[in-house]
Structure 1
Amino acid sequence: MKTILTTGSNGLLGQKITEKVLLEGRVNLIATSVGVNRYPVKEGYEYAEMDILNPEQVKEVIEKYRPDAVIHTAAMTNVDTCEANKELCHRLNVDAVGTLLSMCEEKNIQLIHLSTDFVFDGLDGPYKEQDAVNPVSYYGKSKVLAEELIKNSNANCAILRTILVYGISNDMSRSNIVLWAKGALEKASPINVVNDQWRMPTLAEDLAEACLLAVEQDAKGIYHISGKDYMSIADLVRKVADYWKLDDSFINEISSASLNQAAKRPVKTGFVLDKAIKDLGYNPHSFEEGLLILEQQMDKAN
């Protein structure tokens, strides 16, 4: 059985990988993150504190556990924060990848790197893996730079690009669009939602499964991983309202330009999933199925 080490194990995707491993036992897991372990179950895997900005600590942890694969989920993903603090974004999204890459190359460890639809300009989605990248934000640029580091290295790597990940996890430090919309509409709070951006939202469980499939199949190259349904952000929020029978009159549709956000967003992304389905056996849930899974998890938590 392979041993995998995850970075960012306290985040949504990191927690879903831990959950999956504990449930299915397909690999041995070393979970790493900054600070204490926030996952509620502490048995059945190892946890180590690891700051990806500390090369010595990264080296120490990887040499101690000698994993067969590293799944790199840690990143700075707030698009406007990345635009406002380019230096920190570069350190977290590019330099840290370089640190991991050199270790993986030296120790012959597979690296599964998470990337984003924001590497594209959104003028011609849905995109295939081989389509030309052209980011419109610094976040997207940082992810392109990381992808280039990977392509130019001799390490055994797979890049999994994904879109608008949603889900629920323990002690979440950040919300996501589904939980934000549901929470606001339950309080009858008016919300502004853009109606001129299109995406394919990704259930965190589906992305976690894709990460494990990539390890198990020793995947190399780029794979597009998302949900199967293509929709505008406004439609997504309306589907959330409809699913939980919430009043959609509180949804105020606006244009992206009216938000005055620090970073520009691509208009239409979305992915062609054929390669991941064929090569990895990836089989994502529909958006409605994803909402049902969330509902079941919420009921269980209560």
Structure 2
Amino acid sequence: MRKKILIIGATGALAMALSKLLLAETDHSLYYLTSKDTKITEDETRFLITHPLEVKNVKNFCFNILPDVIINCAGFSDVVLAENERKLAWDLNVRVVENLVNISKILDSHLVLISSDLVFDGLKGPYYDDTKPNPVNYYGKTKHTAENISLTTLKKITVVRTTPFYGLPFSENNTFLDDYIYKLYRNYPVNASDFLFTNPCFIDDLTLTIMKLIDRELFGVFNTGGPDWLSHYDFAVKVADIFDFNKKLIHKIKNPFEGVRMPLKAGLLTLKTETNLSLKFTPLENGLTACKFRFFDK
């Protein structure tokens, strides 16, 4: 069924990758909201340039287009800065979601919320989708709060938890994993933790999961992440192996996040997602090989 889909934070890296997939693979009508002064589409009725905290503007746009689905890709993602800029992190990760929850409830829209494996403490990871969260840093607390507000208020709510993802074109908004690729490509040194573990998610898998969850109208919590669970340091070494970069540029450190407490054993188990959506997440070697072709071998 053709749906009206509103993407919040539409100029972000994940949102742009998701929009590209939806335009290529579906006949859904896409609408966009972004705080950046960027013309996303020629049809000016399909996008609004406003900050997601401008509640009146967001509501008016939603009430005008009546979206079937609202996907929130906006948010405050800097884990280190979140410790010092707590009000800003709370406003972007919690208040924005509160507003979208209220709108979704009134319009009976399906809200899709992107969350993180940082809602867990990292003592016994990787984690199932029904494991009780216990965040250890402020960023994780904001994401957990947003999850709770959404799940306890709405019936048509899908929380998509993801591990750190990789595979996006180089930009100033690189994820820290994509930043490893960029720095090694430029022959810059990379500091990577051999204490912090996760199972990185290939961006194509994350966007495909979101698309399938929307099309099948599945609600609840769904985990995404690759089948390879490894340290950040081992990820950087794997990048060097696949791309034939200089491994001597990679240096081990305990925690690159400037003293912020991080889950040591993070990561997400994806059996529920794979079973419900009939998909398999991409092994790291395959994902990085695809990135190499995508970025350098064209």
TM-score range (shorter-chain normalised) is over 0.9
Q: What residue number does 2:162 align with?
A: 162
Q: What residue number does 2:60 align with?
A: 60
Spell out, residue by residue over 1:148-195, the C-alpha distance to the aligned partner (whole angstroms, 9 max, x if none). Answer: 11122034101111010122248x331123432223223333322110
Identical columns (%):
25
TM-score, scaled to structure 1: 0.92
Gaps of 5+ in 2: none
Q: How much has 1:34 moved relative to structure 2?
A: 0.9
Matched letter for residue 275 of structure 1? K
Question: What is the rounded CA distance, in whole Å, between the counterparts of 1:147 and 1:103 in structure 2?
Answer: 16
SS at match of 1:97: helix
Matched letter for residue 235 of structure 2? L
SS at match of 2:123: coil
Matched letter for residue 61 of structure 2? V
Matched letter for residue 74 of structure 2? A
User: Pairwise mapping of residues 1-302 of structure 1 onto structure 2 (< 5 A)?
Assistant: 1-37=2-38, 46-169=46-169, 172-256=171-255, 259=256, 261-299=258-296
Q: How much has 1:10 moved relative to structure 2?
A: 0.8
Q: How much has 1:68 moved relative to structure 2?
A: 0.5
Q: How much has 1:22 moved relative to structure 2?
A: 2.1
SS at match of 2:145: helix
Q: How much has 1:262 moved relative to structure 2?
A: 4.2
Question: What is the rounded CA distance, in whole Å, between the counterparts of 2:284 and 2:27 in structure 1?
Answer: 26
Matched letter for residue 79 of structure 1? V
Question: What is the rounded CA distance, in whole Å, between the counterparts of 1:24 and 1:54 in structure 2?
Answer: 32
Q: Is the 8 A contact 1:104 1:155 kept in 2?
A: no
Stretch deviating more after TM superposition (121-130 or 175-184): 175-184
Q: How much has 1:66 moved relative to structure 2?
A: 0.9
Question: What is the rounded CA distance, in whole Å, between the counterparts of 2:193 and 2:154 in structure 1?
Answer: 42
Spell out, residue by residue over 1:21-77, the C-alpha distance to the aligned partner (whole angstroms, 9 max, x if none). Answer: 2211242211221123376x757x933224211110110111121111011111101
Q: Is the 8 A contact 2:194 2:252 kept in 1?
A: yes
Q: Is the 8 A contact 2:79 2:139 kept in 1?
A: yes
SS at match of 1:161: strand
Question: What is the rounded CA distance, in whole Å, between the counterparts of 1:220 and 1:67 in structure 2?
Answer: 17
Q: How much has 1:283 moved relative to structure 2?
A: 2.7
SS at match of 1:136: coil
SS at match of 2:147: helix
SS at match of 2:159: strand
Spell out, residue by residue over 1:120-141, the C-alpha distance to the aligned partner (whole angstroms, 9 max, x if none). Answer: 0000011001111110100000
The total of aligned residue pairs comes to 297
Q: Label 1:17 to 1:186 Cα distance change in 2 as closer, same or farther (>3 A).
A: closer
Matched letter for residue 252 of structure 1? H
Spell out, residue by residue over 1:194-219, the C-alpha distance to the aligned partner (whole angstroms, 9 max, x if none). Answer: 10111111122211111111111111
Matched letter for residue 218 of structure 1? E
Matched letter for residue 209 of structure 2? A
Question: What is the rounded CA distance, in whole Å, between the counterparts of 1:15 and 1:129 in structure 2?
Answer: 26
Stretch deviating more after TM superposition (200-209 or 283-292): 283-292
SS at match of 2:153: coil
For the aligned residue pairs, the C-alpha RMSD in angstroms reads 2.1
Matched letter for residue 8 of structure 1? G
Q: Is the 8 A contact 1:37 1:47 kept in 2?
A: no
Spell out, residue by residue over 1:83-108, the C-alpha distance to the aligned partner (whole angstroms, 9 max, x if none). Answer: 11100111100011000000000010
Stretch deviating more after TM superposition (19-28 or 108-117): 19-28
Matched letter for residue 56 of structure 2? E
